[in-house]
Homo-oligomer: A and B are copies of this chain.
């Protein structure tokens, strides 16, 4: 970018000199006070000079915020409905000065915000964007490109193809796969299951049968994400036909149980059509045995979808790539750069080995029309439920280039190192117990002081996580593993450092001792 903007900025600081204002600005623009909405032009957007001033203010506020996100409590201490009650019941008729809106953002909205940027946010999958991603989001909103057809923004369509190919190369996924972004993993898994249904329909049609959707059965593990089951609800498939295959002691789907379930369904006259394997399950980040799942999918001609929403990012690390082994045989695959690749929400990378199946399922464009199009002018809408799309690829491009694979890898490795160190502390402490392996950066564990009966531990650990979260310095989530209530520390926040994990451990042991003592 040229320096013109910056030069202007230098002349447009908080107290501009008489020579600071370009000729085409209104007198209001050089004033620190807000333009009075009464004298505002009603037609048109905010004047560019006013946007420049407030844009700087917003950027400055964020820069300050990122210097100390831990000055806020991770979670606000507010009761449900408090913000609703505090805000006016109606929107204003008259426009308000931006100054007031930004003030209210800080004074009214912020106290109700959960700070995902707080280095002590270790709940769910700790998820943060990054500065390059924020810069890109500003440009995305500024250009406001809408991807409907290729020509509604060639840049949007083609940068999406480029960045998804770049990602596939980093993850060593087949270069021939079709890739597109979607807003989230739930929507992407929906696309996978739609394609699976279409493939089954076409198989049955080829065999002279008609598909009965009430007989369709999908297989995933007990530890799979709820979005898979929701897909069944959305598509009107039988919820009890989302078969949750048991897992082994390390929370990985058992292939032999999967195959038994498929055979039982076939014997009962049902129609298995899809296997969803997970690389990095939600609770423990366990990894299903994808090669074995691929064998079974091939044997029974089922669609294999792999949900690597969180752990897919780790595929950029050579030492973790083995967890993606077998994924090259999947029919579809997703992972979320918005989860652990520092790309702001919402950006899911969705890949499909057989995009023509997806297109046959979803395209409204007749073949004779498509044949007139330039084959390089891809129209993503033919492969997707949404018609329009934001210029999402721009943020991925910014993030991949600014950090490079080395920078992203360094962050991922640090998170993994911190998680492993934390797991070691758990393992070494006589009163704590780890409840699952740590292949990536999530640790599941519980407090188990000697002498307490097993049936009191769940309540004890529930109180422990509540005590930690109430403090405001950390936010952990929890899960239940084999009926055991488990705390869950997820490292994935770009702001989290060793010192934060150290403090968490101190707090955990202190609170545990407090709660576990007979007096408590």
Contacts and interface: CB of A to CB of B under 8 A. Distances in A.
A516 interface: no
Contacts of A400: 91-92
Contacts of A219: none
A405 B95 CA distance: 7
A361 interface: yes
Given A132-B46, A154-B114, A61 B364 contact: no
A137 B141 contact: yes
Contact of A113 (B1, B46, B155, B235): B155
Nearest to A158: B83
A8 B67 CA distance: 13
Contact of A46 (B82, B131, B404, B405): B131
A101 B139 CA distance: 13
A102 to B, nearest CB: 4
A57 B90 contact: no
A226 to B, nearest CB: 5
Contact of A43 (B98, B140, B411): B411
A91 B169 contact: yes
A300 interface: no
Contact of A90 (B64, B135, B169, B235): B169
B401 A96 contact: yes
Interface stretch (A183-191, A251-259, A320-328, A429-437): A183-191
B4 A14 contact: no
A458 interface: no
Interface string A67-96: 100000001101111111001011111111
Contact of A59 (B56, B87, B406): B56
A370 interface: no
Chain B CB within 10 A, most for which of A4, A130, A141, A344: A141
A62 interface: yes
A113 B186 CA distance: 29
B135 A137 contact: no
Interface string A45-56: 110111110111
A112 B49 CA distance: 27
B63 A101 contact: no
Chain A interface mostly: helix
Interface residues of A, number: 164
A28 interface: no
Contact of A45 (B131, B163, B414): B131
A407 B9 contact: no
Contact of A15 (B10, B162, B388): B10
Contacts of A7: 14
Contacts of A234: 190, 194, 235, 362, 385
A233 B361 contact: yes
8 contacts: A5-B61, A43-B414, A44-B494, A87-B159, A91-B170, A98-B135, A123-B152, A127-B144
Given A87-B162, A183-B386, 16 more contacts: A1-B58, A5-B60, A6-B57, A10-B15, A51-B135, A55-B62, A78-B154, A80-B150, A90-B169, A113-B154, A114-B151, A114-B152, A116-B152, A129-B144, A194-B236, A345-B390
